[in-house]
Structure 1
Amino acid sequence: MIGYMRPIKGAFDKEQRKIYQAVYCGLCRILKSRYGATGTLALNYEIVDMLLMIDSICSDKSKWIKRSCSLSPFMWRNLAGLNEQRYFMAAEISMIIANFEIQDNVEDLNRVQDKILLAISDYKLRKMGNQGKDVYEILEKKYLEYMSKERMAQKVFCGFESVVNACGGIIGTIGRLLSEVSGIREISDIEKIFNLWGRWVYLVDAADDYVEDKKYDHFNPWTLKDTPPNWENYVYCLEKEAGTLINYLPVRRYGDLLKQLYVIQLPERRRRIFNKLYEQTWETI
């Protein structure tokens, strides 16, 4: 959940940029209003993309309100979802996911700055309402399951698919939670699509970090798989499966934007990262 679904600069047309910015800025404003300026640091592109998918199939379009920017008060923006429950939940999920990532950094790197960030994040999470605490318990269970699988994989007690599926399960659960609070009927389809995207992000990130992980003897799921060309094919299959499921969704709006994000840009990002990996010396692979 660290920006691998970030839009490619210059790829959107004017209308697509306007829609994306409204969802992004709306979520940013809610994070700031609930958790202060540090809350905006939890904003990530993956959650924005998930909200866009949910918004695209909801019966009612998210309302836009023109307000000043959370970070630059002299700039005015269209903000989506300021009074909508799914945006409030997305803000809580953003904070929870950021907390998990910091926990992971503390465990892997044991840096002082990460420990400080974790203390701040834990304090912010204690300010959540009952809904946020319920969501935390649900996602924490999935996160701990994923961490358990990763530790087992390091000791060769479980394989590649087990670890990857556990990570996908976290994101799939987010899809289910956002679908339920939005009152849409296609909950199982959204959960499957988000599960596939979660696995995609996890594995693309792993490919991006492979050489560095190898150098510092950090765990990387690709060490459980055969050779890099087959790695990329595996990620490509995730894209195709998710794309097939998207075609069956009753998309009411933002179809061109979703196509740009998920059909055009994800493969392009995957190709860039794997090409960089191929350019590394094979001695490190």
Structure 2
Amino acid sequence: MFGYVKPEKSELKVREMNEFRAFYCGVCTSLHKSRYLAKLFLSYDAVFFALILTSIRGKILEYKKRFCGVELRNISYYESDEISLAASNFLLLLKYKLLDDVRDERNFVKALLLKFFKNIPGSSATLESRLQALIVELGETERKREPTIDKPAEIFGSIVALFFENLNELSSEQRTVLIHLARHVGKWIYVLDAFDDLKKDVSKGNYNPLAIQFGFTHGMDIQEFTNKIRPKVREYLFKILDEVVLAYNLLELKTYKGILDNIVYLGLFEETERVLSGRKTCKRIYTA
């Protein structure tokens, strides 16, 4: 998956670092109980969902302990309905992403993996149907080689927003704000990932909307092209992040706000600059 939505760790307090790790390990533990193989794909993005849902509901979680086979030591983790829901939504997204990949690539390994993702706990037929329709729409848009990044980014934003639509305990205003935030976080992820994969996609002949939109042609120097479009992509990404921040400022957050502030005000912007500058990023496994 992606894994760009994460805090700027150097700016977290020690307590906040431990709490973030407990959320990450909590999502991983939930996946361990339901679909073990999904742990291999776990990213920071699922943790953001668990954090923001926990904060909106005003819950303060208590540490639990278990032995981690990856770190080979006892770890502290959180367990809650919000974390289970984040894990369930992550599984759904992974399931239909694998399904779309199998449809496109005829990938035997991914086809085998799909067998482990039936009857995902906590999902509904309506949510699965809408998610599948959006992923199919995104796949068709990419296969048609949409010439600008706006349309596929909007569709991916709608996919992310889908997981925030059924929080019926929220007021209509707060739900609207949260959906707006989620949609723009999704757009930001899609555009940032397109820039991150630009060189790889060009070398393999894969679809990349930024390459088409800004006129990359065979024979061009990819580094010169990347340097040329970087300011325009940065401007586009920062406009999306402006919408994220505006929506975030309207949310009524009650707990773990320090971590969320760090992610929204620092982490997203730092990750944008890391990717734009070409610095290596860690997309998956959380380490202290």
Match of 1:244 among 222, 243, 246: 246
Corresponding residue SS for 1:230: helix
Task: Provide the C-alpha distance between the structure 1 equivalents of 2:39 and 2:125, rounded to a whole number of angstroms.
Answer: 19
Over 3 Å counting, the alpha-carbon distance change for 1:261 and 1:129 in structure 2 is: closer
- 2:221 maps to which residue? none
SS of 1:75's partner is strand
CA-to-aligned-CA distance 1:213-252 (integer Å, 9 cap, x gap): 1122111121343433211100011111110111111111
Displacement, 1:88?
Answer: 2.7
Q: Distance in 2 between matches of 1:31 and 1:256?
A: 26
Partner of 1:3: 3
User: Within 2, Cα distance between the matches of 1:53 and 1:207?
Assistant: 27
Q: Which residues in structure 2 correspond to 1:102-121 (within 5 Å)?
A: 102-106=98-102, 114-120=107-113
Greater relative contact order (CA < 8 Å, ≥ 6 in sequence): 2
Alpha-carbon deviations, 1:183-205, whole Å to 9, x = none?
A: 22221111110110111111111
Q: In structure 2, how many angstroms separate the alpha carbons of the residues matched to 1:26 and 1:187?
A: 25
Contact kept in structure 2, 1:149 and 1:166, CA below 8 Å: no
Q: TM-score, normalised by structure 1?
A: 0.82
Alignment of 1:1-285 (within 5 A): 1-35=1-35, 37-59=36-58, 61-71=59-69, 74-81=73-80, 84=81, 86-106=82-102, 114-120=107-113, 122-129=114-121, 131-152=123-144, 154=145, 159-177=148-166, 179-180=167-168, 183-185=169-171, 186-226=174-214, 227-276=229-278
How far off is 1:168 after superposition?
0.8
| 3-state DSSP of counterpart to 2:265 | helix
Identity %: 19
Residues of 1 paired with 2:121 and 2:6: CA distance?
A: 29
Deviations 1:49-85 (A, max 9, x none): 12211221214x053241204535740313231xx2x
Task: Provide the aligned length of Structure 1 versus Structure 2.
Answer: 262
| Cα gap change, 1:73 to 1:238, in 2 (>3 Å) | same
Unmatched tracts of structure 1, length 5 or more: 278-285
> 2:10, 2:122 → 1: CA distance?
41
How many angstroms apart in 1 are the aligned matches of 2:247 and 2:157? 16
| Aligned-residue CA RMSD (Å) | 2.4
Q: TM-score, normalised by structure 2?
A: 0.81
Query: What letter is aligned with 2:52?
Result: M
Higher helix share: 1
What CA distance in whole angstroms lies between the structure 2 residues aligned with 1:103 and 1:252? 37
Distance 2:125 2:41 in 1: 17
Q: CA deviation at 1:131?
A: 3.2
SS of 2:15's equivalent? helix
Q: State the SS of the aligned residue for 1:176.
A: coil
SS state of the match for residue 167, structure 1? helix
Instruction: Supply the distance in 1 between the matched residues of 2:100 and 2:16 (Cα, whole angstroms).
Output: 34
